[in-house]
Structure formats: C-alpha cells, structure tokens
Structure 1
Amino acid sequence: MSIALSRKPLLSSMSDREDGRTAILLVEDDDADARLVTRSLTPYARRASVARATSLKEARAWLHRNACDVVLLDLSLPDSFGLETVTRLHADAPSLPLVVLTGYDDEDFALDILAHGAQDYLVKGQTDGPLMWRAVQHAMARKRLEEELRLSEERLQGIIGLAQDAILTTDANLNITLFNRAAESLFGYDADDILGRPLSLLIPERFRPDHDAHIADFSVSELQARVMTNRREVLGLTANGQEFPAEVSIAKLHHAHGLLFTAVIRDVSERKRVESELRRMATTDPLTGLNNRRRFLELAEVEMARLRRYGRAVSVLMLDIDRFKAINDTHGHAVGDHALVRLAEVCRDELRDTDHIGRLGGEEFAIILPETPLASAAEVAERLRQRLALAEVPIVPGDHGHGCLRMTVSIGVAMCGDEDSSIERALGRADRALYEAKAAGRNRIVVSDGYPGPAFASASGPISMAS
C-alpha cells in the first residue's frame, strides 16, 4: 500500500480511527513539495493516512468535517503567509499538533514558530522520511503532554480555589508599578503600600547586587523573556523578613514610557522540601539515619580525591556487631534493630562532624576519618569499641536499666594511600582486619599492617596487628 496524494480527504475519520492509523493533513499549495512530503511518508503507509489542502481556507473546512491527528503546515499559502498562518490555524484548532514546513532555516525564526503555537518545524529540502515521521510523532506526543499539563493545571487551580501566582511589574528603574493579590499574600505587603517602592524590598540584601546585574544584562539582551531556573538559587523576602525559595519568570516590554519588566513568582518551598526529603531518602539508611552504602562511598571518594591532591592522611574503619544473628534469634529482630540504632547513636556521638559513617548492610558499618593517620584511627576505633561495650540495648521497649543487653563490636582499621585507585581497596584491607578480629575472639580491633603506612605499635587493650 502507498500513500496517495489528493486535495480531498483520502479516508474518513471513522476509517482512520478503526484501523488505528495516524491521520495527517498536509496543507501545501505547491504540487512538487506536496509530492516530496507524501513520498517521504510512503514507508509509513500502514501507519498513516495523508489528506491535502492547498489553502488555509480549505484546511479549515477539512478540519471542520474530519478528525485529524497532526497538520503539516506550509507557511506560504495563497490566503496566508508566514507566522500568521500558524497563528490563524492554531486559533481555529488549539488542541491540534502543528508541524511547520518552511524553506527558512533560522533558529530564531524557528523559536518564533514554536512560540506562535507550533510543536515542531522542518526545513524543506533537509528532511527525509524518518525525520518527518519522527517530527509527526514528537509533535503529537508534545501536544498530548501539553494538553495533559493544561488539564492538570486547570484541575489543580479548581481544587485550590483558582489560586494564582504572584505577578508584579516594575518600571525601568525597578520601582514596582503592579502588585496583584497573590503577590500581596506571598510577600505580605498591601499593594497600596508597595506600589512605587523599589523591587529590592522583595530580595534578600546579599542577593541584590547580583540581581541588579542580571536585570541589566537582560535589559540589553535580545531575549524578551527568561525563565530564571539557570541561577543557583532565587530567594524572595517577605515583609516580616522571612526568606523563601522562588521560581521566577521574567519578561520585558518596550513601552512608550520606557522599559517595563513583568515577573511571575511562585513559592516553591513545598517542592524544595519534597526534593530535600527525596534526596535524604535516597542517601540515608532508613533504620539508623546514617549514610547508606551509595552515599557513604560517594563521600569516601571525595576524601580520596583530597588525599591524592593534598597528601593528607585518611583512614577507614570497618565494624560490625558480634554475634548479631544470635541477638536476632534470641530476642527478635526488633531488638536487633534497637542494637543497630544504638550503635549509630554512639558512633555519631563519638565521631567528629568531618567524619563519615555509613551502614553498608546488615550489621556492617564503615567509617572514614579524614586528616587521621593510622595510629590515631586505631585510638578512635578503641574508644568506639569501649563505648559500644557499655551501651545498653533494651530488650523490652522503654525498659532502661532492666532487661537490657550489652553488645560488642569487632573493628578493622586501615589507612588509605594515594596509590589506591578507589576507596574500595582501603575498605578491603579494613574488612580483612575485621575478620581477623572476629577470628581472634571478637570484641577487639585489628589494625591492618598492609599497604600503606608504618606498623602500628599497639597499646594496652584488645588491639592487634593484621598479619
């Protein structure tokens, strides 16, 4: 089957819907260009049907009678020319995806086309069948998403009582000339009190110089609008001095009285809170609140990079609870969880803010100690071992001092070297030392004497060297 070319609809809307094919209307008055388009789409004949109109008037009439999925639109028609063609057809069928066919290959012009309602554009003579078919599919997908977003936003606005974003306008001197009710609610100023006053009142003082510089650059740029999401952070300032994260879009208008700026401002505090919570959930062990394995390894590699650059000592500890399975089997997993949480609490209390601890899995934990040579790391490990041996874990929730168990830990200690390709090598040495501590009777630390660093002279207490 091939795609035929006709100035009349080739298939009724019913047949298009029954066979599942994409219904395309080609609006093109030039016969040669029309043939090129249909020839390009011939390989997709089983998936698409093409009807043709030669003028905007004929296209409007066809669309009034037939269902259509997408329009391929030439800008130069007998009864319409240029961007006006897009505007007029988009006004008639705002929900219909438009792919513009043009002989003018210019990025700014393409952006204007999109701004006037088209979903995509193709340059004549530079388009093959796969590219055209992909443009058709993408236009429909983009339009569908746009419609879904529009409907979603309408539903949301209905739920929250048709609430609107804050909108304000300033003159060229950045004095406020318009302040809507949503802006009043957001910033805590009455419009009568804020009109004529400088925009800087709504910006934290430390950001005002940078903001003025951004506005100055925007004033002389060719852009007419800018969504200010490429900045590191945008903060608003309320009348009572509270700061809030904001999403800001800004547009400029050349007015008879000079340049005007209009900003649409949305409070994104809740979105920021959700993003922060998602980041926390993605990087935190849910039981102990410590770094999870992935986050710990990320932090450890940062310390390794500092070691390679500055040559500063970095040590690692591997530790786990002795006979943890017996705790679970004897007292239940809830008590085992209490033991893990208690270990995390003791370690957090003992370690520095610059140290990093993570739960790698089960009862296994790892600690990285920046700026810490091997001997000092062994001392930290011994303090942790002693503190944890004294920690009480209630067998019955809320029962402290009665019905508690004590736990012990075994710890392996190793030092990182600038020749380590990754933190995993140092953790491997510490892990081997940990298992030697287990084999030697548990409740002790073992210091790896493998590469790198000198042998550690053990002090009193259950500290030994890995052989």
Structure 2
Amino acid sequence: MSIALPVKPVQSREPEPEEGHTAILLVEDDDADARLVTRSLTPYARRATVARATSLKEARAWLHRNACDVVLLDLSLPDSFGLETVTRLHADAPSLPLVVLTGYDDEDFALEILAHGAQDYLVKGQTDGPLMWRAVQHAMARKRLEEELRLSEERLQGIIGLAQDAILTTDENLNITLFNRAAESLFGYDADDILGRPLSLLIPERFRPDHEAHIAGFATSMVQAQVMTNRREVQGLTADGREFPAEVSIAKLHHARGLLFTAVIRDVSERKRVESELRRMATTDPLTGLNNRRRIMELAEVEMARLRRYGRPVSVLMLDIDRFKAINDTHGHAVGDRALVRLAEVCRAELRDTDHIGRLGGEEFAIILPETPLASATEVAERLRHRLAMADVALQPGGQSGGGTLRMTVSIGVAMCGDEDASIERALGRADRALYEAKSLGRNRVVVSDGYPGPAFATASIPTSIAS
C-alpha cells in the first residue's frame, strides 16, 4: 500500500507492487519511530509502498509470502537485538538489501553492521526524507552490484573449476592464492595444502632462477599477457617429483594489494610424444630403424657445412648387399627383410655415435663419417665388409632352431668430401661410382673413388656363399 497512508501490521499476502515502485518492509516495534519513518517517506508516496512488521519473526514470515525491494531494519526488536538481527535476517534473505535503523551513532559500529550483511545504516533522529530515500535507493543499487559481482565470481569459479587446463594465481611474492581442480590433478597437490606456498614448488630446481628472472621482467614490462603460442615451453614438477613439459599462458593484474599473476598451464607430454613419433616416422626407415633418405641427406649437408667452415675431413660410404635379388627370389622377401635388419644391426655396432647411416632405398645404404680422412674411412669400410660377411641371417622368424641361416656379402664405395663440392651429392656420386666398380670387379670388396683425392684401389674379397 502507499506510504502516504498509515502503516498497517503485516498479516496476509500483500498485493504485488506496481512496476517502478519500491516495495519497502519496515521492521520496527516502536509505533512512534514507525510514524517518523512513514512521515519522512510521504513525499515519495507515488514511488514506493511500505509494509510494517513489529518483530523479526513477523518480518521473516512476511518475506516468505511477499516480494520486497528493501528492508528498513531496527536492531532492537522483541525477539532479536543488535548485530544478531542483521545476521539472522541476512541469512534468511541474502539477496535482499538491508538498511539498518539505529540510535547508536558510531562509525566502527556502522562498519561492523556493513560487514554483517547490511548495505547502509541510518541514525534515528538524524534522518530526513531525502536522506532516507537516498539510503533506500543506494542500498538497492549497492545490493544489485554485489549480486552481479557474486554471480560473476560464481560463474568465474565455475569456469575455473571445470577448466581442463590447470589454472593458478599468485600474489606479487609468487605465493599461490588460487589452485583449481585441474591443477590439483596435474601437480598432485590438494588446493588446501598448496595455497599460500611458493610457486617454486611446482618448478624443477634447476629452472627456478630463470623463471624468477622471467617473472620479474614480465612484471615490469608493458605486456599484460603472454599466450601459449608466444610462450616458450617450461618444465613442471609434480608432488611426487615427476617432471613434465608444459605450455604456460600468463597474465598480470594490478590490484589494491599489489600485482596478481594468473597462469594457465597445460601438460604437453602426450603432444610431445606424438610429435616425437611423427618426427621419427618422417626421418626413419620403418624396416631397419635407420635414417631414411631424406634424413641422411640432411645430416650429410650439416657435416659438409662443418667441413667448409673448419676444414675437418668428412668421408662417405655407399654400401650395397650383393645379389640381394637372389636372396629374395630364393628365400622370400621376409628373409630379404631380415638381411636388411641384420645389416643395420651390424653397422650400428661398428660405427661411432657421431657417424650417420641411412637407407637410401632397397638394399642400398649411405654412411657419413665426420672427422674421418680417406684412409681411415677405407679401414672402416673394410671392417664393415668383414663383419657383415660373418653375420648370420636367420631363415625363420625369430631365429627358430632348425631353420638355418644364410650369410650375405656387401660391396662398398668410399669417397672423401672436398670443400669444393657444391653439395653432398657430388661426394655420394663418387662413392656410388666406386660401389658399382666394386660390383663389376666381382662384389664383396671395397673400392675407393678415383675422383678425389687420389687413384682408386680395390681391396681383396673374402669368399663367402649366399647360403650356408
């Protein structure tokens, strides 16, 4: 009802206030104080309605049945007194604005009232109509903002809680102040245990100085955020000591209490594994596990660049299994494949870690020997030829007993790279021509290229049979 009329006690459901009106509930047991409030609000009769309750119990019952925009609340009621009155009513209607009416004019007490859920307070006897109306409107506006902020925070917390990526926040001293569920799962810490502790707990010790320097630079820079695509990979550390590669996005926020840093962290272990596997597949021969043609050529060009810059010797070998077609035709392609795998095993065992071997295709292989002059490369080729001639190749899968074995021979061409070579292709070409010369001389031998730096010569062969 209009506040221009005498205020009646609330007993039943009130009619819904018209749109644009402010529905006020006055909780006041003193009739004289109630009349003063009514009189103060009379100029606003067309913009507001008021109902009155004389006790906290009566107010709570009325609020259960009726809509209300704001409550004018006396602290001294028959069934409640002081701050307890605010606390109890706020607990019943947390979204309802409260303006406290008190006869106690004290700033500290006023701040305590606000801390317990009220939006404003008025001192009885010191309040006129305009001030009361402003307090009512201010309380409603402030409550709306508080509710919007609360809902925004709840939505944000919901998003943070549901996020698949780990999200954490630190203060300017890099102590953790927020740790979402994904962060708990990723790092193995409960939020309750990690909050307030230093961020360095989540970083391997050897990376901590660099990380602190990076954060210090970020804090003073003009950059407000660094997203994952622009941020270098870092290493994370779990509670049980496991390290993992991580991508991190970081943002900073200037707050009244100082800088806040928020990081979004993603474990990229699986992605790294997949990338590594893709790189392996792109650079590795699937049968032998050696470098494929593309990769051995890349590695060879790297050694050529070193030769041109430092003048260090580099030699190349071209190697081919003799009569490989006969092995396939006689024993089948599966045995031919095992011969290729056996060759790869023997070569790996004989070569240095710094040497490079790759399968160019079929039964043809290339070997790059850094820091190796021609004479030494020839010795390596002879050793490989001898070891391969002595290597057994199983005729049955898994080397089953009684399946028998065969032995293979190889022909090898040797060449030395020169700094006048435009690319590794020229040196490999010379080694390839020497290889075919070895074939024409009867196979199972090493021939050194006569293209550079001296005359060709062939080593003696070791007689072997295709099968034994």
Calculate the TM-score normalised by the size of structure 1. Answer: 0.62
Map 1:317-396 onto structure 2 (within 5 A). 317-396=317-396
Structure 1 counterpart of 2:405: 404
In 2, distance between residues paired with 1:271 and 1:380?
Answer: 40
Q: For residue 162 of structure 1, report the CA deviation from its aligned partner.
A: 6.0
Q: For residue 455 of structure 1, report the CA deviation from its aligned partner.
A: 4.6
Closer/same/farther in 2, CA of residues 433 and 391 from structure 1, 3 Å limit: same
Structure 2 residue runs of 5 or longer lacking an equivalent are 1-160, 463-468
Q: For residue 197 of structure 1, report the CA deviation from its aligned partner.
A: 1.2
Structure 2 counterpart of 1:435: 436
Closer/same/farther in 2, CA of residues 196 and 162 from structure 1, 3 Å limit: closer
Offset from partner CA, 1:235-272 (integer Å, 9 cap, x none) = 10111111101111111111111110011111111111
SS at match of 2:420: coil
Q: For residue 222 of structure 1, report the CA deviation from its aligned partner.
A: 2.2
Whether the aligned pair in 1 keeps the contact of 2:438 and 2:458 (CA below 8 Å) is no
SS at match of 1:192: helix
Q: Aligned letter for 1:431?
A: D
Q: Aligned letter for 1:399?
A: Q
Whether the aligned pair in 1 keeps the contact of 2:313 and 2:371 (CA below 8 Å) is yes
In 2, distance between residues paired with 1:321 and 1:370?
Answer: 23
Correspondence 1:449 to 2:450: yes
SS at match of 1:290: coil
Map 1:42-81 onto structure 2 (within 5 A). none
Structure 2 counterpart of 1:295: 295
Q: For residue 329 of structure 1, report the CA deviation from its aligned partner.
A: 0.9
Closer/same/farther in 2, CA of residues 323 and 355 from structure 1, 3 Å limit: same
Whether the aligned pair in 2 keeps the contact of 1:248 and 1:265 (CA below 8 Å) is yes
SS at match of 2:320: strand
Q: Which has the larger radius of gyration?
A: 2
SS at match of 2:265: strand
Q: Aligned letter for 2:440?
A: A
Q: For residue 193 of structure 1, report the CA deviation from its aligned partner.
A: 1.8
Structure 1 residue runs of 5 or longer lacking an equivalent are 1-160, 463-467
In 2, distance between residues paired with 1:281 and 1:208?
Answer: 35
Map 1:63-462 onto structure 2 (within 5 A). 164-397=164-397, 398-399=399-400, 402-451=403-452, 453-455=453-455
Q: For residue 318 of structure 1, report the CA deviation from its aligned partner.
A: 0.1
Q: For residue 220 of structure 1, report the CA deviation from its aligned partner.
A: 1.9
Calculate the TM-score normalised by the size of structure 2. Answer: 0.62
Closer/same/farther in 2, CA of residues 410 and 459 from structure 1, 3 Å limit: closer
Q: For residue 457 of structure 1, report the CA deviation from its aligned partner.
A: 7.5
Q: For residue 216 of structure 1, report the CA deviation from its aligned partner.
A: 1.5
Closer/same/farther in 2, CA of residues 387 and 457 from structure 1, 3 Å limit: same
Closer/same/farther in 2, CA of residues 414 and 231 from structure 1, 3 Å limit: farther
In 1, distance between residues paired with 2:412 and 2:273?
Answer: 37
SS at match of 1:252: strand
Whether the aligned pair in 1 keeps the contact of 2:414 and 2:431 (CA below 8 Å) is yes
Q: Aligned letter for 1:425?
A: R
Structure 1 counterpart of 2:92: none
Whether the aligned pair in 1 keeps the contact of 2:169 and 2:263 (CA below 8 Å) is yes
Closer/same/farther in 2, CA of residues 457 and 323 from structure 1, 3 Å limit: closer
Whether the aligned pair in 2 keeps the contact of 1:374 and 1:456 (CA below 8 Å) is no
Whether the aligned pair in 2 keeps the contact of 1:375 and 1:456 (CA below 8 Å) is no
Offset from partner CA, 1:259-292 (integer Å, 9 cap, x none) = 1001111111111100110000000000000000
Whether the aligned pair in 2 keeps the contact of 1:394 and 1:400 (CA below 8 Å) is no
Q: Aligned letter for 2:257?
A: H
SS at match of 1:405: strand
SS at match of 1:246: strand
SS at match of 1:419: coil
Q: For residue 230 of structure 1, report the CA deviation from its aligned partner.
A: 3.8
CA-based RMSD of the aligned residues comes to 1.8
Whether the aligned pair in 2 keeps the contact of 1:412 and 1:430 (CA below 8 Å) is yes
SS at match of 1:381: helix
In 2, distance between residues paired with 1:211 and 1:349?
Answer: 42
Whether the aligned pair in 1 keeps the contact of 2:224 and 2:252 (CA below 8 Å) is yes
Percent identical: 86
In 2, distance between residues paired with 1:295 and 1:255?
Answer: 53
SS at match of 2:317: strand
Shifted more, 195-204 versus 393-402: the winner is: 393-402
